[in-house]
């Protein structure tokens, strides 16, 4: 035993264990638990070039009635991958049968957005809320009610449904600085384009600056390339102003 101990002493200290490199952050399309009950998913898309030392804008996408969020997060994810500029999140609504949004989803949606901002490197001053069809309608509802969370909204083929009332007018006044981008097909046979025009008119009367795009001969579809157009608009809207420029 003394010989063994002596041999170990002469051999010097044992080599330290190799340092374990921190795991790379997950990228691509993934899912995480959304907040609230019943349990459901929030779909995420993180570009492969994601760098946790940067702060990224976040695009929150609300799915249409009857469909899961993964499809629309994937569509937006293609734009996120090409630009390497933002993250995408698609929370699911509570209604797991008809998959329809309701005002009761608001609390869970906001909690899920906060959870994502705490898990990834998100620029909390640059969060965009968008959605298609019923998801577009609720991007009006949730976005206008929460201008402290969302910097802008981009409803696609949706409509502002809240009727004028003292309460609704107060919500619009509070949200007046929110950016708004509306896109709609002129031949939409599910949510007629007249409803999009009325939404634009009502917001402009309330003092909003609205970017409005009406696509001729398009039905109830998200136009090809629209995520890139919306992103270019949002990027310009939230770009830092050059020194000395007035708002």
What confidence tens digit (pLDDT) does each residue in 118-157 have? 999 999 999 999 999 999 999 999 999 999 999 999 999 9
Give the whole-angstrom CA distance, residue 164 versus residue 201. Answer: 13
> Using an 8 Å Cβ cutoff, are 151 and 128 in contact?
yes
* Residue matched to tokens 């896109």: 183
Is it the case that residue 38 has pLDDT exceeding 70?
yes
Q: What is the mean pLDDT of the chain?
A: 89
pLDDT-based confidence at residue 37 (cuts at 50, 70, 90): confident
* Residue matched to tokens 């929110």: 178
pLDDT-based confidence at residue 213 (cuts at 50, 70, 90): very high
Residue 202 has a pLDDT of 97
pLDDT-based confidence at residue 63 (cuts at 50, 70, 90): very high
Mean pLDDT value of segment 210-219: 98
Report the percent of the chain where pLDDT is more than 90.
76
The three-point CA angle 134-135-141 to 5° equals 90
Give the whole-angstrom CA distance, residue 44 versus residue 24. Answer: 16
pLDDT digits over 169-198, tens only?
999 999 999 999 999 999 999 999 999 999
Is it the case that residue 50 has pLDDT exceeding 50?
yes
Nearest Cα to 131, choosing from 44, 60, 225?
A: 60
Token pair in block for residue 96:
């797991």
> Using an 8 Å Cβ cutoff, are 126 and 57 in contact?
yes
Residue 9 has a pLDDT of 41
Residue 24 has a pLDDT of 61
Best mean pLDDT range from 3-7, 14-18, 71-75, 138-142: 138-142
Is it the case that residue 246 has pLDDT exceeding 90?
no
Mean pLDDT value of segment 219-236: 97
Q: What is the pTM of this model?
A: 0.87
Residues 25-238, CATH architecture: 3-Layer(aba) Sandwich (3.40)
Q: Which of 35-49, 106-120, 212-226 has the lowest mean pLDDT?
A: 35-49
> Using an 8 Å Cβ cutoff, are 176 and 207 in contact?
yes
Query: What H or E segment, with its residue span, contains residue 193?
Result: helix 193-205
C-alpha to C-alpha distances, 202 to 157, 192, 210, nearest whole angstrom: 16, 16, 10
Mean pLDDT value of segment 21-25: 57
Phi/psi for 74 (5° steps) reads -65, -40
* Residue matched to tokens 């579809």: 221
Nearest Cα to 171, choosing from 185, 153, 156, 189?
A: 153
Is it the case that residue 48 has pLDDT exceeding 50?
yes
C-alpha to C-alpha distances, 83 to 50, 69, 73, 98, 135, nearest whole angstrom: 11, 21, 15, 34, 24
């Amino acid at each position: 035993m003394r010989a063994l101990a002596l041999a170990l002493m002469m051999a010097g200290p044992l080599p330290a264990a190799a340092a374990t490199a921190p795991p790379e952050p997950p990228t691509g399309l993934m899912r995480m638990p959304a907040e609230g009950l019943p349990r459901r998913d929030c779909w995420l898309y993180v570009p492969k070039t994601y760098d946790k030392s940067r702060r990224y804008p976040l695009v929150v996408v609300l799915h249409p009635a009857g469909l899961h969020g993964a499809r629309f997060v994937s569509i937006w994810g293609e734009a996120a991958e090409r630009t390497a500029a933002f993250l995408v999140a698609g929370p699911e609504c509570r209604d797991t049968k008809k998959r329809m949004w309701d005002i009761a989803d608001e609390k869970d949606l906001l909690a899920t957005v906060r959870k994502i901002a705490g898990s990834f490197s998100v620029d909390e001053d640059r969060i965009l809320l968008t959605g298609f069809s019923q998801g577009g309608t609720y991007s009006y509802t949730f976005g206008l009610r929460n201008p402290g969370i969302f910097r802008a909204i981009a409803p696609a083929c949706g409509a502002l449904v809240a009727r004028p009332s003292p309460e609704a007018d107060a919500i619009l006044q509070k949200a007046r600085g929110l950016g708004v981008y509306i896109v709609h097909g002129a031949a939409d046979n599910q949510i007629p384009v007249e409803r999009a025009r009325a939404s634009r008119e009502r917001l402009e009367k309330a003092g909003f600056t609205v970017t409005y795009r009406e696509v001729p001969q398009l039905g109830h579809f998200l136009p090809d390339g629209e995520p890139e157009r919306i992103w270019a608009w949002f990027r310009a809207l939230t770009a830092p102003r050059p020194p000395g420029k007035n708002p």
